[in-house]
A and B are shown apart, each in its own frame.
Chain A
Amino acid sequence: MINRREFCKKAVIIVGGIALPLSALEVFNPKRLLAEKDGNGKVRWVFLVDVHKCVGCGFCVKACKIENEVTYDANVTRTWVERYVVTKDGRVNIDSPKGGRDGFTTQKIDQASAGLKEINPGEIAKAFFVPKLCNHCENPPCVQVCPVGATYQTQEGVVLVDRSWCIGCGYCVMGCPYGVRYFHPELHVAEKCTLCYHRLCKGMVSACVDACPFGARLVGNIRDPNDPVTRIIATEQVNVLKEEFGTKPQVFYLGSSMEVK
Chain B
Amino acid sequence: MHLKNHVWRPLYIVLAIVGGILLTRTLLVPGDFGIHERGYMYGWHRKSNEAEWKAYRVKYKTAKVCAECHKDKYNDIKDSPHASISCENCHGPNYDHPKDPLGLKIDRSRALCIRCHAYMPYKDNIRAKIPGIDPLLHYPQAECVMCHYPHNPTKPNPKYNRREVKP
Contacts and interface: CB of A to CB of B under 8 A. Distances in A.
Contact, chains A and B (beta carbon distance below 8 A): yes
Interface of A: 28, 32-37, 39, 41, 52-59, 62-63, 66-68, 85, 102-107, 121, 124, 126-129, 139-140, 143-144, 149-155, 160, 162, 164-165, 194, 197-199, 201-202, 204, 207, 210-211, 213-215
Most buried by A among B33, B41, B55: B41
A54 B123 CA distance: 14
Given A67-B60, A149-B45, A152-B38, A52 B126 contact: yes
A43 to B, nearest CB: 11
Interface residues of B, number: 46
Nearest to B35: A32
Given A152-B45, A213-B84, A197 B56 contact: yes
B106 interface: no
Interface residues of chain A: helix, strand, loop or mixed (majority):
loop
A2 B110 CA distance: 84
Interface stretch (B1-9, B46-54, B141-149, B150-158): B46-54
A154 B50 contact: yes
Contacts of B121: 107, 121, 124
Nearest to B123: A124
Nearest to B114: A105
A59 B49 contact: no
Contacts of B89: 59, 62-63, 211, 213
Contacts of A33: 35, 39-40
Contacts of A199: 58
B140 interface: no
A228 to B, nearest CB: 16
Interface in B125-167: 125-127, 130, 135
B86 A149 contact: no
Nearest to A120: B121
Contact of A194 (B46, B53, B84, B125): B53
Which residue of B37, B42, B49, B93 has the most chain A CB atoms within 10 A of its CB atom?
B42
B120 interface: yes
B143 to A, nearest CB: 15
The 10 lowest CB-CB distance pairs between A and B, nearest first, are A35-B39, A103-B115, A121-B121, A152-B45, A127-B122, A198-B56, A155-B37, A149-B44, A105-B118, A57-B115
Contact of B115 (A28, A59, A144, A151): A59
Contacts of A104: 115, 118, 120
A88 to B, nearest CB: 13
